[in-house]
Structure formats: C-alpha cells, structure tokens
Amino acid sequence: MTGLGLVTPLGIGVETNWTALLKGRSGVGRISRFDGEGLPCRLAAEVRNVHAEDWVCAHERRRADLFILYAIAAAMEAMKDSGVRNAVAPDCIGVVLGVGLGGACRASRRVCSL
C-alpha cells in the first residue's frame, strides 16, 4: 500500500493541492515568516495554515524545526491516503520522506525566525 502526503504552499493533502492546481492558484505571496523589508524580493512560496498541534504534541513542537513538523504532517497524510492504518499493524508501517535544506534557518537567524 502506498499513499501521498503533501504539505506545500498550496495546502495540505493531495486533494487540496490538486484542486488548487486545477484552479490555477499560486502558492506565492508576501513573506510573512520574517521581516522582508530591505530585501530585493519580498515574495515567497511559504507553507501557510499548518497547525502542528494536529500531528505533534506540544513538547515535540517546541523541540522540532519547522521542516520536521512539515515532514511529520506529510507522513501522516501519506498514511491516511494509503489506508494502511486500519489494514496493517502499526509496527509494520514505514515512511520514506525527503527534505532539502532542512534546518538551514537555524544557521542563518538574520533572515529566518522560526
């Protein structure tokens, strides 16, 4: 069984993203995560409206980088999309995910504020 899990600037979940694509929506907007004043470009494709409390307890949210919270949300969405939760024992489930440049903002606080 396989499933897809998407956490993107267009939204969370396969159906939300697909609908946005079909409608021609863009995930690009004004930067909201930090003060972009003084930058040559103040537009970005940010992931918005992610409520990490839907996937991770408060203790883990405080300890995790934002990209990890997105990865957990995407993994949970993929499991939901696959239907595996009810068909397979929990200890027999694996998730493969990829993240590029994760945690880079920790090293560059002048631009990012998590």
Our count of domains for the chain comes to 1
pLDDT at 21: 96
Q: What pLDDT is recorded for position 14?
A: 93
| Structural domain includes residue 70 | yes
Residue 112 lies in a domain: no
Residue 33 lies in a domain: yes
Q: What is the CATH number of the domain that holds 38?
A: 3.40.47.10
Query: Which tokens hold the place of 56?
Result: 């991770």
Name the residue range of residue 96's domain. Answer: 7-107
Task: Give pTM, 2 decimals.
Answer: 0.74
The answer as to whether 54 is a domain residue is yes
Q: Tell me, yes or no, whether 17 lies in a domain.
A: yes
2 within a domain of the structure (yes/no) = no
Residue 114 counted as domain residue: no
* Residue whose token pair is 């409390």: 53
**pLDDT by residue for the chain (114 residues), tens digit each?**
788 899 999 999 999 999 999 999 999 999 998 888 889 999 999 998 888 888 888 888 888 888 888 888 888 888 888 888 777 777 777 777 666 666 665 544 444 443
pLDDT given for residue 106 in this prediction: 53
Q: Which helix (H) or strand (E) holds 81?
A: helix 66-82
Is the residue at 24 inside a domain? yes
In the beta sheet, which residues pair with residue 30? 43
Amino acid residing at 111: V
